[in-house]
Amino acid sequence: MLHLILPSDLDALRELLDENPESLLDVAAVVNCLGTCGLCERRFVPVAPLVESLEPLYGDSKGLHALLRHNQYISLSEAICGFCHADPGLLNMFQKMKKL
C-alpha cells in the first residue's frame, strides 16, 4: 500500500516532502498514525509515531520532524490536536481536565 502513495526512490521521496510536507497526512492514514483530539475530537496526526514510521524510508528523522511540526493537522502531542494546542483557552482547559 505504501508504494501506491510513496515513491520507492528515496531522493524522489525527499523531493516530495520538500515540496509538500502535508502529503504525509495521506501516508499517516495508511500507517495508522491518526489520533483523536482529547478536546474537540478532531482527527489529527501525532507527529512522533508518523516520524518513527517513516524514518527508515526518509533517513533523517530530525529533518522530517522539522518539516511536519508546524502543520495544524499534525501535533507534537498524542492527546491534543494542533488546532486546540494553538488556542490558549482550550489548552488551559485541557490541562485542568488532566489534573482531575
Distance, in Å, from the CA atom of 19 to the CA atom of 32, rounded to the nearest integer, reads 23
Residue 32 region, left (φ>0) first, then alpha (ψ -120 to 50), else beta?
A: left
Residue for grid cell 492527546: 79
Distance, in Å, from the CA atom of 36 to the CA atom of 45, rounded to the nearest integer, reads 8
pTM of the model: 0.66
What's the CA angle centered on 61, arms 59 and 62, to 5 degrees? Answer: 130
- Helix (H) or strand (E) holding 92, with range, is helix 88-99
Q: Note the pLDDT tens digit of each residue in 6-51.
A: 677 778 878 888 888 777 777 776 677 788 998 888 888 898 888 8
| pLDDT for 6 | 67
Distance, in Å, from the CA atom of 14 to the CA atom of 21, rounded to the nearest integer, reads 10
| pLDDT for 1 | 43
Domain locations along the chain: 2-99
pLDDT over 90, % of the chain: 1
Q: Note the pLDDT tens digit of each residue in 42-98.
A: 888 898 888 888 888 778 888 888 888 777 788 888 888 888 888 888 888 877 877
Q: Per-residue DSSP letters for 56-77?
A: HHHS-HHHHHHHHTT-TTEESS
